Amino acid sequence: MGKVWFVGAGPGDPDLLTVKGRRLIESASAILYAGSLVDQAATLYAPSGCNVRDSKDMTLEEISAWLVEAAAHGDVVRLQTGDPTLYGALVEMARALDAAGVAWGVVPGVSSAMASAATACETLTLPEVTQTVILTRVAGRTPMPPGEELEALASHHSTLCIYLSITLLHEVQRALRAAGWAEDAPIVVVQKASWPGEEKIVRGTLADIKQRCQAEKIGSQAMIIASPALGARHWQDVARSKLYDPEFSHRFRRAEK
């Protein structure tokens, strides 16, 4: 009996697979990848003779049964978009594997939040501006638990990385306005972050970001980032990090007087 590995494929660029994830793909006897989200190029590392299957037309029950059956012949990779622990069915699939007595593990992947910030050359945290990043989404077919409504989270005025919500951008605008965000608050939307030749970056404000995204025909696979730190590299003054401040001591360096 082999082991099932849930491997984060990252945001789309095969080069952003972790070394461990690629090694597992290269030695897998079977790979089940999320074809609706994961670029098929991520399976190019599969060895000759590997059983490669796209799961986009499968139900949870069919996926679970496939993984259990494939594990009887060797190690299996379930290749998922981004990181397996974020907005996936990890627990549901893992419960089926536990019930069948199949060992499994998780290899983290680069999330689209980090990939989008990198693509846009932005920072998600900044000294004395925001030190908190909230990963969330707008309620759609999947409701939000009590207390996790976007309006409540936005009231912290920290960085918001909003997944799976580009078609509900009007709801994002409503929630941020209700939480007291200014109309000129900066927002950046990144579609297909890291996808070679396909990524788009749209910069705007709370007031106009929806219209800008519509003009660029962005309606899927996009990350919404709202943050008081956006655009900081163009500010006249930025608070200095204490870690590199010559007047700040730490165990590797004594402060200068």
Question: Is residue 240 one of the residues assigned to a domain?
Answer: no
60: CATH = 3.40.1010.10
Q: Out of 52, 77, 107, pick the residue that ends a domain.
A: 107
Give me the pLDDT at residue 99, please.
97
Query: Are 150 and 66 contained in the same domain?
Result: no
Instruction: Check whether 36 has a pLDDT greater than 80.
Output: no
Would you give the end-to-end CA distance of the chain in angstroms?
64
pLDDT tens track for 195-243? 888 999 999 999 999 999 999 999 999 999 999 999 999 998 888 777 7
Q: C-alpha distances in angstroms, 247 versus 92, 96, 126, 243?
A: 51, 56, 19, 10
pLDDT tens track for 115-143? 999 999 999 999 999 999 999 999 888 88
Residue 39, CB half-sphere, CA atoms under 13 Å: how many?
23
Question: Is residue 239 one of the residues assigned to a domain?
Answer: no
CB 157 within 8 Å of CB 176:
no
Give the total number of structural domains in the chain: 2
Question: Which range of residues forms the domain containing residue 137?
Answer: 112-234
61's enclosing H/E stretch is helix 60-71
Query: Are 62 and 161 contained in the same domain?
Result: no
Is 154 in a helix, a strand, or coil?
helix
CB 74 within 8 Å of CB 3:
no
